[in-house]
Amino acid sequence: MEELINKCRQNGLRITTGLRTILEVLHQAKLPMSLQELEVNPAIIAICDRATIFRTLQRLEGIGMLRRLNFSHSGAKFSLSNGDNHEEYLICTACGEITTLNMSCPVHKIQDDVINSTGYKQMSHELTFYGVCPACQ
């Protein structure tokens, strides 16, 4: 957690109780969380209102610490970004269940090639698979 706090400080964010709590909840989450899930989280509910949570998420995303995942079935969800070490997801189109894929990302090689051929920096990508989970079949 201290590494996350230090990165926030280095990027000019004020370390408030709300920011620290949101970081802790996202850090402990096994799957990405929506704004709605964050605002009803017991650790956050007494500290932050919806607008504060939203502004905090925007700030974290702006400094590259947060990954916004746009799921067509369930809207945007957020997870902490570890740069190159990020999760890829499988989403059920019937029930909306999100499953983390426990495999290395096959897109990193392509991303490295794009960086080398274009000169772009701080590049990111998303890879999400959609299908029908076994329970919904």
Measuring CA to CA, which residue among 11, 19, 14, 12 is closest to residue 1?
19
* Residue 84: predicted pLDDT: 53
* Residue 16: predicted pLDDT: 95
Structure-derived torsion over alpha carbons of residues 46, 51, 87, 95, reported in degrees to the nearest 10: 90
* Residue 12: predicted pLDDT: 93
Handedness of CA 25, 82, 63, 75 (dihedral sign): negative
12 φψ region: left (φ > 0), alpha (ψ -120 to 50), beta (else) = left
Burial 37-67 (b: 16+ CB within 10 A, else e): ebbebeebeebbeeebbeebbebbeeeebbb
Angle at 17 between CA 14 and CA 21, to 5 degrees: 110
Measuring CA to CA, which residue among 100, 78, 96, 93 is closest to residue 26?
78
> In order along the chain (137 residues), what is the average pLDDT of each group of 10 residues?
91 94 94 93 94 96 86 78 69 84 82 92 78 92
Domains of the chain plus CATH, in order, are 2-136 (1.10.10.10)
* Residue 82: predicted pLDDT: 62
* Residue 13: predicted pLDDT: 94
